Amino acid sequence: MVVLNKELMTIVREVDVIPFRNRLKEHAVKIGMGLVNQTKIITAASELARNMLKYAKGGKVTLEVISTGRENGIRLTFKDQGPGIANIPMAMKDGYSTAKSLGLGLPGTKRLVSEFNIESEVGKGTTVTVIKWKNG
Amino acid sequence: MKNEAIRILQKKNKAILESWMKFQLLDEGLREDLMSNDDLRSQSEELLSALTSNLNDNNIEDAKSMGFEQVNDILASVSISRAKQGFSPRETGNYIFSLKNALLEILQQEIKDPQELYMQSIKIGKLIDSFSIDTFETFLRGREDVILRQTDEITEISTPVIQVWDGILALPIIGTLDSARTQVVMENLLQKIVETGSSIAILDISGVPAVDSLVAQHLIKTVSATRLMGAECIISGIRPEIAQTVVHLGIDLSNILTKSTLASALKTAFTMLQLQVTRKNVTNLN
Ligand SMILES: Nc1ncnc2c1ncn2[C@@H]1O[C@H](COP(=O)(O)OP(=O)(O)O)[C@@H](O)[C@H]1O
Ligand SMILES: [Mg+2]
């Protein structure tokens, strides 16, 4: 797999999500991703950025355009240094929330993307990586 | 023993100001429409005297030291006010960089020993560079404040509630629906329902870029609040790609009346109010 383009953006306020979402959309359009998949990755990104803001007071996101040769896609890596998640299987359950919100951010995101990976260490932080293939 | 450069700079205050002003006015980009030359001069004089009078052997290498509080305050207020007045970064940068040129010019005239001149120039250069960085950071913060204030204003004005028919309100939402925005939308809507005695509200989200779980939760809340007021709420403008995404996210909108377009929502509203829209029978008119 090769990385065709890589950008790092910092998200510490709600308004920082807007330029990030716009860049993401630009890249999705550029690789020819369809409207439905664009909307899915943008919505997933919005969930993960919100989590980072809400639970970890912000963090960094890496936006990459990747290619396997046969298929192009977008990989997003959200990295924060927040409190971490003690019980990941629990956090991945539909409806589980420590903030009285819908509890659909993590499980919903997993359904919206092609590949999903979460790593977290209590007291250290959380890293969520997602890939959406152009036709995935 | 007092540092030679400090002694010179304090003695030559007037000459420095003249040369600094000369450098500033040289800039072709300087715009008199934003600040008169007199104002520029008194602003420059104030900063220069704060700088030279507070300069001493201990703080010459530390722009952050206590002695420079006054300098930092003046610079901060200059750059904030310039940001708000619409000065460009170039104009603001030139203000402080030309001060450096003026200081270095005086040192060059006064210090004869090349070794000493080099050492002192480096010191003064570093000090002013450090002030410059702070100036840019403050300038940017000033610009960000302007942008944030505009964002707030846009939030306020971009959530109009329109009475489209007797008893029917429409509320087109354009842009991101964050928590602050939802609060404004909800308050406007509920107030207008009371004012107009309307029984149906149409929330059109065609202009919302993404419906994630928080936006969905806000929508659900708004619908519940409307129902508590005894009115019904229809959400329109749910594009097909948004509908699919919302389903994958796992959001249940089955308790909410949704329509794909504002027109079809209006049609539903008419039906609910037992109103009928009919075309005039043209043949009977002649
Ligand atoms: N970046 C993060 N850092 C710490 N905790 C997190 C993070 N992201 C999610 N969580 C935890 O996982 C839970 C589930 O998240 P999510 O599925 O997005 O639902 P919600 O945000 O509605 O609570 C959250 O309530 C929170 O406790
Ligand atoms: Mg969430």
CA pair distance A28, A24, nearest whole angstrom: 6
Taking alpha carbons only, the member of B125, B85, B101 closest to residue B18 is B101
Q: In the beta sheet, which residues pair with residue A64?
A: A6, A75
CA pair distance A65, A33, nearest whole angstrom: 12
pLDDT in tens, chain B (286 residues): 467 888 888 888 899 999 999 888 887 766 667 777 788 888 889 999 999 888 888 888 788 877 888 888 888 888 888 888 888 888 888 888 999 999 999 999 999 899 999 988 998 999 999 999 988 888 888 888 888 878 777 766 667 899 999 999 999 988 877 777 788 888 889 999 999 999 999 999 998 888 999 999 999 999 999 999 999 999 999 999 999 999 999 999 889 999 999 999 999 999 999 999 898 886 655 5
CA pair distance B206, B174, nearest whole angstrom: 7
In-domain check, residue B252: yes
Torsion sign (Cα): B10, B56, B53, B79: positive
What tokens does B101 get?
A: 């040129």
| B155, B174, B198 - which closes a domain | B155
**DSSP secondary structure string, B222-258?**
HHHHHHHTT-EEEEE---HHHHHHHHHHT---TTSEE
How many domains would you assign to chain B? 2
Number of H helices, E strands in chain A: 4, 5
In-domain check, residue B148: yes
Percentage helix, strand, coil, to 5, in chain B?
Answer: 65, 10, 25
Interface residue A100 vs chain B (CB under 8 A)? no
Cβ neighbours, 10 Å, residue B226: 23
- B117/B179 same-domain check: no
The single-letter code of the amino acid at B272 is M
CB contact (8 A) between residue A105 and residue B212? yes
CA pair distance A104, B213, nearest whole angstrom: 6
Q: Select the more confidently predicted residue: B25 or A73.
A: A73
CA pair distance A17, A9, nearest whole angstrom: 10
The single-letter code of the amino acid at A79 is K
Q: In the beta sheet, which residues pair with residue A76?
A: A63, A130
CA of A101 to the centre of ligand 1 (A): 9
Which residues have beta carbons under 5 A from ligand 2 (an ion)?
A: A 51, 105
* Residues 6+ positions from B163 with CB-CB distance below 8 Å: B169, B170, B192, B196, B198
Is B93 within 8 Å of B137 (Cβ atoms)?
Answer: no
In-domain check, residue B285: no
Given B210, B217, B250, which is nearest A46 (Cβ)? B210
- B113/B176 same-domain check: no
* Residues 6+ positions from B231 with CB-CB distance below 8 Å: B193, B198, B199, B200, B201
Residue A21 has pLDDT above 60, yes or no: yes
In-domain check, residue B120: yes
Can you give the pLDDT at residue B95?
Answer: 87
Q: In the beta sheet, which residues pair with residue A80?
A: A59, A126
- B148/B36 same-domain check: yes
Can you give the pLDDT at residue B1?
Answer: 45
Query: Domain A2-133 - what CATH class?
Result: alpha beta
Is A37 within 8 Å of A75 (Cβ atoms)?
Answer: no
| B124, B155, B186 - which closes a domain | B155
Tell me which H or E stretch contains B219.
helix B213-228
CATH (domain of B95): 1.10.490.130
- B229/B135 same-domain check: no
Give the gyration radius of chain A's Cα atoms.
14
- B147/B219 same-domain check: no
Q: Pocket of ligand 1, candidates A54, A106, A111, A113: which has the most ligand atoms within 8 Å of its Cβ, to mutate?
A: A106
Tell me which H or E stretch contains A11.
strand A2-11
Residue A26 has pLDDT above 80, yes or no: yes
- B266/B178 same-domain check: yes
Most confident of A22-26, A74-78, B175-179: A74-78
In-domain check, residue B229: yes
- B129/B233 same-domain check: no
Within the 110-129 window of chain A, which residues sit less than 8 Å (CB to CB) from chain B? Answer: 111-112
Buried b (16+ CB within 10 A) or exposed e, A63-84: bbbbbeeeebbbbbbbbbebbb
CA pair distance A98, A17, nearest whole angstrom: 22
The single-letter code of the amino acid at A96 is Y
Interface residue A92 vs chain B (CB under 8 A)? no
Tell me which H or E stretch contains B65.
none
For A47-88, the three-class secondary structure string (H helix, E strand, C coil) is HHHHHHHHHHCCEEEEEEEEECCCCEEEEEEEEECCCCCCCH
Ligand 1 atom with least separation from CA of B214: 22
End-to-end, the C-alpha distance of chain B in Å comes to 109
CATH (domain of B197): 3.30.750.24
CA of A98 to the centre of ligand 2 (A): 10
Is B261 within 8 Å of B226 (Cβ atoms)?
Answer: no
Tell me which H or E stretch contains A98.
none
- B8/B146 same-domain check: yes
The predicted-structure confidence for A91-132, as pLDDT tens digits, reads as follows: 999 999 999 999 999 999 999 999 999 999 999 999 999 999
- B211/B227 same-domain check: yes
Q: DSSP letter for B174, please.
A: E
**pTM summary value:** 0.70
Is B102 within 8 Å of B20 (Cβ atoms)?
Answer: yes
- B12/B149 same-domain check: yes
Domain range for residue B178?
Answer: 162-272
- B150/B215 same-domain check: no
Is B180 within 8 Å of B212 (Cβ atoms)?
Answer: no
In-domain check, residue B96: yes
Q: Select the more confidently predicted residue: A5 or B159.
A: A5
Instruction: Classify residue B101 by burial, with Cβ atoms within 10 Å: 0-12, 13-18, 19+.
Output: middle
CA pair distance A74, A65, nearest whole angstrom: 5
In-domain check, residue B284: no
| B127, B155, B183 - which closes a domain | B155
Can you give the pLDDT at residue B157?
Answer: 64
- B10/B147 same-domain check: yes
